[in-house]
Amino acid sequence: MKETSKEVTELAVLQEIAGSLHDLFGWVRVLGYAQVTETLATALSSKQRRLVYEAMDGLRGVRDIQKSTGVNMRLVSAWGQEWEKIGIVAQSRTSDIKGRREKLFDLALFGLAPAKVEAAKEPEDQESQVE
């Protein structure tokens, strides 16, 4: 099927828009790096929080995250709500199940990744830490 000149023109415009968006993304990333790093470091102030954040892939629910991190599911849920409010997680784009969240940033890119993704040891009174 032969493309018409209108289709070729539309394709060229779309490619130009895509290139401009790519350039803008680069600038936004550079300009926002320090603020995002500070926000992540503040919100994810403990290894437990970082493990939970890393586990928020949009596919796993709070029970699965509890199993993989050792963090009480009430904290997982509370932290997820807190992080959604400040914009570092969002409702999942990969799951239709309401309440599934996915992280928006890769902690490794900000030097904040937990050393190992393993079950964190919880203090016995962790339930009283719900914020």
Q: Are 74 and 29 in contact (CB under 8 A)?
A: no
103 Ramachandran zone, left/alpha/beta (phi>0; psi -120 to 50): beta
Supply the pLDDT for residue 124.
Answer: 38
Query: Among residues of the chain, what percentage have pLDDT more than 70?
Result: 87
Its pTM stands at 0.73
How far is residue 112's CA from residue 63's CA, in Å, rounded to a whole number? 24
Q: Chain-wide mean pLDDT for the chain?
A: 88
Check residues 104 and 8 and name the one with the higher pLDDT: 104
Residue 29 banded pLDDT, cuts 50, 70, 90: confident
DSSP 119: P
